[in-house]
Amino acid sequence: MKSTRAAVCADRMVSMSRLVNDLSSWAHKAREEGPVLIMRYEEPWVCLVDYHAWLQIDALQTYRPPEGHPLVGLRRAIDTLLAYEAALVLALAERSQSRMPGQMLIRAWLLQIVYSVGGADTLREGLAYNMRWRWFVGYDYASQQLPAVEAFVQDMAMVSADPRIIEIVFRCLDHSSIIDAGVSEFSVNTGLIQALRARSALDATAAGGDKPVGGAQPPQ
């Protein structure tokens, strides 16, 4: 493993003592030639990386799928619907255990639906390594900290129990031309969303409610 790391960084390896004695020259090397691997106790420890190079590496826009990818169309579709739901999105963020913005929580649950992810904990695990998923949810940088698992699971339970959000996601899937039998990218859990919608309707009937489930309606 050491030989592989040495080959990757070539001559850009430096011990802590050498770094301290000549920091400016090593910083210049990192900026002009590439990342400098800093060794501690003969093991890789940290890297010096040019600031602009780091921004390019860290930015999740780098992982944005090409324009024709189904995730791009799905993100656009859900964002169009959420643009009419400012009050709902704000209220959701205020109730969030993870302190995630409301739009991000709804997008995350939509991911769970369209990929038939078994549980919120599994979805959270996927967000740890799937940069396209992170981009879809709304993170800007790969280095941004993800929410704690327990808080995220609680938030997904809250989102999936809200009749207004269920209706928004249903409309997104129902009206979006990208969710069809020809899109192999997705494995939509239609049974779950239909069951949740039916349960919401029954609950509304039992409560004597006669208002539509959804919030503000976008123009048709």
Would you state the pLDDT for residue 178?
60
Q: What is the C-alpha separation between 89 and 97, in angstroms, rounded?
A: 14
pLDDT tens digits, residue range 118-131?
A: 999 999 999 999 99
Q: Which two tokens stand for residue 186?
A: 């997705």
pLDDT tens digits, residue range 129-142?
A: 999 999 999 998 88
Would you state the pLDDT for residue 143?
84
CATH topology for 9-58 is YefM-like fold (3.40.1620)
pLDDT tens digits, residue range 151-180?
A: 999 999 999 999 999 999 999 988 776 655
Three-class SS of residue 36? strand
Cβ neighbours of residue 29 under 8 Å, at least 6 residues apart? 12, 36
Q: Where in the chain is the domain with CATH 3.40.1620.10?
A: 9-58
Computed over every residue of the chain, the mean pLDDT equals 82
Q: Which two tokens stand for residue 50?
A: 């040019």
pLDDT tens digits, residue range 4-31?
A: 344 344 466 667 677 777 788 878 777 7
Would you state the pLDDT for residue 215?
46
